[in-house]
Amino acid sequence: MRADLLSRVDGLRTGRTPFVLATVVRAERPTSAKPGDCALVLADGTIDGFVGGVCAESTVRLESLRLLRAGESGLLRITPRAGDGNEEPEEGVRTVGNPCLSGGTLEIFLEAMIPPTLVLVHGEAPVARALVRVGHALDWDVRASTDAAAPIAADTSGVVVASHGRDEVAVLRAALKAGVSYVALVASRRRSAGVLAELAELGVPAEERERVRAPAGLDIGARTAPEIALSVFADIVARRPRVAAPVAGADTPAEPEVAVDPVCGMDVAVTASSISAAHGGGTVYFCGTGCRQAFLDDPQRFAR
């Protein structure tokens, strides 16, 4: 991996930006790519690096966006030999026939890099400290704060208030306003009812108050601070969306929009980075520059 690309990876991880790392693991001649060539694919379809020509890049873009949405990784095989649909599928391998390739076959490992689940814990009591320890054991990004005015990141999955009376209402209101999917209060049932009543007095709608998990966590008979932390994280896992949500501020990222190249019939991701041309008051997308030029030379030939 080039040093500049490696530096970009570190920056994306630090900034909690989802991306796919595409690495060529096998190249059958004739191909322009070689094993070890790699590229980064961002959620907007931008590609930085090299994994083959524009036709291969187009396929990598679309398949990367699909994997990024699912939060999964996989092996992509791109071959110029279009299948007849009767081939036995190989587990863990996505084979795409791309007739525009100059020849050879590429196998590219697409590794989705999804930021770890981000949870904000407000408080510094034993339960708050236990939440941080247990969260880190899960490889989650758990951040502790005692500042009620601390900003809540757009991709925060959970806010847990464990401050034993300090700034509870203010932090809960901020979390609800930010649209955080999991909002919880570590407190007794009596204390929880009192805090929810305060939220009602401040004009927080009933449907918003109902989103607050108070008391926090699943009822597993937890007694110690670590057990309470365990019950909270178990509740978060049980309630999270079943489709990964790598895109900041979105619970279920949309399936990438797909267009069909009118020249070769390949599926192409509709992104600002894709090769396209204006035609007939709309936009036509292509897998590569060759198909684009063929279309522009004689659009009526490819009218559908």
Give residue-wise pLDDT tens across range 177-230.
999 999 999 999 999 999 999 999 999 999 999 999 999 999 999 999 999 999
Phi, psi for residue 76 in degrees, rounded to 5: -105, 125
- What is the band of 245 on the pLDDT scale with cuts at 50, 70, 90? very low
| Distance between CA atoms of residues 191 and 203, nearest Å | 19
75-127 pLDDT per residue, tens: 999 988 755 445 566 777 888 888 876 677 899 999 999 999 999 999 999 99
> Rounded mean pLDDT of 41-45?
93
> Rounded mean pLDDT of 141-154?
93
> Rounded mean pLDDT of 274-283?
92
Q: What pLDDT score was predicted for residue 80?
A: 82
* pLDDT of 55 over the 80 cut: yes
Q: Say which residue, 90 or 65, is predicted with more confidence.
A: 65
Q: Which of 50-64, 74-88, 161-175, 237-251 has the lowest mean pLDDT?
A: 237-251
| Distance between CA atoms of residues 58 and 164, nearest Å | 54
Give the C-alpha distances (Å, rounded to integers) separating 243 from 53, 68, 107, 135, 283: 32, 10, 26, 21, 30
Question: Domain segments of the chain: what residues?
Answer: 3-114, 118-239
Q: Say which residue, 120 or 71, is predicted with more confidence.
A: 120
Indicate the pTM of the whole model: 0.76
Which CATH code fits 118-239? 3.40.50.720
Which of 53, 18, 52, 13 is closest to 290 using CA atoms?
53
Mean pLDDT of the chain: 88
- What is the band of 29 on the pLDDT scale with cuts at 50, 70, 90? confident
* pLDDT of 271 over the 90 cut: yes
Q: Which of 2-11, 120-129, 143-152 has the lowest mean pLDDT?
A: 2-11
